[in-house]
């Protein structure tokens, strides 16, 4: 009865996906709400996922020459206003500090919504010669954007992220770094989070404020909505000109450098939940599961059971596996349900009869499949099983995404698909922002990206019927 009750606490995703999502983040103990409207507490289970993302992503960054720095969280208003397009893009979301203690500030300070302007101010003193280039920096920090509607992990007024900022001698070098980091994000999502993504360029309407070009990875959630999961921007020399950053080149002439920025956030945790979760709770990919294996002793009060569980724990830890023994005074059924709710990839069950038979029972969280395993082979078997689960989760997510990706050659097909289904729709576009606006106003659908792998599904724009220029992935998004 207890196991059934535990599972029933989660609303079915088929009944109400938004409520299902909220139930999962609360019941799996990932977050808590606070008295600060629009902000949340990362509880240990939620923050541990972010730590694993951060650790593994940071290692990949450093392999490409990235160095970590930290800049202030306050930006003077005069500094923010130096790049016109940039400030206009962020103005509606900026939080302002007007007092220091009891005294009014001589100049308002904005609480960092992103750090391009601060990095420009920093680079002005760092970059003088071609010998000073490139600078490949990143910072792990929080930012504040005054969102009207918030949702845990996906959109909050303060959120955690990393923001990379680089500066280069030429546009070509900046473009190379921009694409390099986008590819890094895509590989990370697929290899670590088991989330397949579509890589492409944003339209001018959707690009980052102040950027020459914005590139994105787009993931598809279980409900068919898209989630922008990482972006990389080439700024060209626009920021350098606005902030007066110049360097002396090899030919002894002054030139403006080119910049990039790239970022990913804690919304990746939301993506993990919405791509892999089910009606029993979280389903975590092993590579970002804080606990990869939970050992549940059966009839633990009997002699030798807890000792056997502890021996298994030590064997698994010796393999580098993150493992816990649930030796609490709860029933096995309750422990099973809690392990499912928390998304722990593998459960090991060990009781008196199992010990006598020299085996244990393994249960997969992703499929529910159970199997017996001899104690001698347990550590090797679990190691292999975790790798199998990681690969299987990516493949299932890819198959589901592909099933929810449609093609529309005409306006009628396009509108019919979005009236009846959810997912990505591949359709041609003329390049006119007026068509983008019409599609958004009529269908609440936005251009997600112009994929690097272009196809021709028709010769005309899906909106106006004029000659098409680009294939676009369209969708409703978080």
Instruction: Tell me where in the chain the CATH 3.30.930.10 domain(s) lie.
Output: 15-276
- Across the range 181-188, mean pLDDT stands at 98
* Residue 421 confidence (pLDDT) above 70: yes
Task: Give the predicted TM-score (pTM) of the model.
Answer: 0.95
User: Containing H/E element for 158?
Assistant: strand 158-168
Query: What pLDDT, in 10s, does the model give residues 356-397?
Result: 999 999 999 999 999 999 999 999 999 999 999 999 999 999
Q: Domain 405-475 falls in which CATH fold?
A: Translation Initiation Factor IF3 (3.30.110)
- Tokens standing for 270? 């939301």
- Homologous superfamily of 15-276 in CATH? Bira Bifunctional Protein; Domain 2 (3.30.930.10)
Cβ atoms 99, 221 nearer than 8 A = no
Instruction: Tell me where in the chain the CATH 3.40.50.800 domain(s) lie.
Output: 291-388
- Tokens standing for 245? 């950053």
Can you name the residues that pair with 476 across neighbouring β-strands?
Answer: none
Cβ atoms 29, 23 nearer than 8 A = no
Can you name the residues that pair with 294 across neighbouring β-strands?
Answer: 324, 347
* Residue 122 confidence (pLDDT) above 50: yes
The pair phi, psi for residue 438, each rounded to 5°, is: -65, -45
User: Containing H/E element for 395?
Assistant: helix 378-403
Instruction: Tell me where in the chain the CATH 3.30.110.30 domain(s) lie.
Output: 405-475
Instruction: Considering the domain delimited by 291-388, tell me its CATH architecture.
Output: 3-Layer(aba) Sandwich (3.40)
Between CA 208 and CA 206 the distance in angstroms is 7
Can you name the residues that pair with 151 across neighbouring β-strands?
Answer: 155
**Which of these, 426, 424, 420, 422, lies nearest to 462 by C-alpha position?**
426
* Residue 301 confidence (pLDDT) above 90: no
């Amino acid at each position: 009865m207890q196991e059934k009750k535990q599972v029933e606490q989660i609303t079915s995703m088929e009944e109400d996906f938004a409520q299902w999502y909220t139930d999962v983040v609360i019941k799996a103990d990932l977050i808590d709400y606070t008295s600060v409207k629009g902000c949340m507490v990362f509880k240990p289970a939620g923050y541990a996922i972010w730590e694993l993302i951060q650790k593994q992503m940071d290692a990949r960054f450093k392999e490409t020459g990235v160095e970590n720095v930290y800049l202030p969280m306050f930006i003077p208003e005069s500094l923010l206003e130096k790049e016109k397009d940039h400030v206009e893009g962020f103005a509606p979301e900026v939080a302002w500090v007007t007092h220091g203690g009891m005294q009014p500030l001589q100049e308002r300070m904005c609480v960092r919504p992103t750090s391009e302007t601060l990095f420009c101010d920093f680079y002005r003193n760092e970059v003088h010669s071609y010998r000073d280039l490139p600078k490949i920096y990143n910072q792990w920090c929080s930012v504040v954007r005054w969102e009207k509607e918030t949702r845990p992990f996906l959109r909050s007024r303060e959120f955690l992220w990393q923001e990379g900022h680089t500066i280069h001698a030429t546009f070509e070098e900046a473009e190379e770094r921009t694409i390099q980091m986008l590819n890094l994000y895509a590989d990370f999502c697929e290899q670590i989070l088991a989330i397949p993504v579509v890589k492409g360029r944003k339209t001018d309407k959707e690009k980052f404020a102040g950027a020459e070009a914005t590139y994105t990875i787009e993931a598809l959630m279980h409900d068919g909505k898209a989630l922008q999961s990482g972006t990389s921007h080439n700024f060209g020399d626009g920021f350098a000109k606005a902030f007066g950053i110049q360097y002396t080149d090899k030919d002894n002439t002054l030139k403006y450098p080119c910049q990039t920025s790239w970022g990913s956030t804690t919304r990746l945790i939301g993506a993990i939940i919405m791509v892999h979760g089910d009606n029993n709770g979280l389903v975590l990919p092993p590579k970002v599961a804080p606990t990869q294996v939970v050992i549940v002793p059966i009839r633990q009060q009997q002699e030798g059971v807890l000792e056997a569980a502890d021996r298994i724990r030590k064997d698994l830890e010796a393999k580098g596996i993150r493992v816990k023994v649930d030796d609490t005074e709860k029933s096995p059924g309750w422990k099973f349900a809690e392990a499912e709710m928390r998304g722990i990839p593998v459960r090991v069950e060990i009781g008196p009869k199992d010990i006598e038979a020299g085996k244990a029972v393994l249960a997969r969280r992703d499929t529910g499949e159970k199997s017996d395993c001899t104690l001698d082979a347990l550590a090797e078997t679990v190691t292999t099983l975790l790798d199998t689960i990681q690969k299987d989760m990516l493949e299932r997510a890819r198959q589901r995404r592909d099933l929810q990706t449609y093609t529309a050659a005409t306006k009628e097909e396009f509108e019919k698909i979005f009236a009846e289904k959810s997912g990505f729709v591949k359709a041609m576009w003329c390049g006119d922002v007026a068509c983008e606006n019409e599609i958004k106003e009529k269908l609440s659908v936005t251009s997600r990206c112009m994929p690097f792998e272009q196809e021709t599904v028709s010769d005309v724009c899906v909106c106006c019927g004029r000659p098409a220029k680009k294939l676009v992935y369209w969708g409703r998004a978080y």
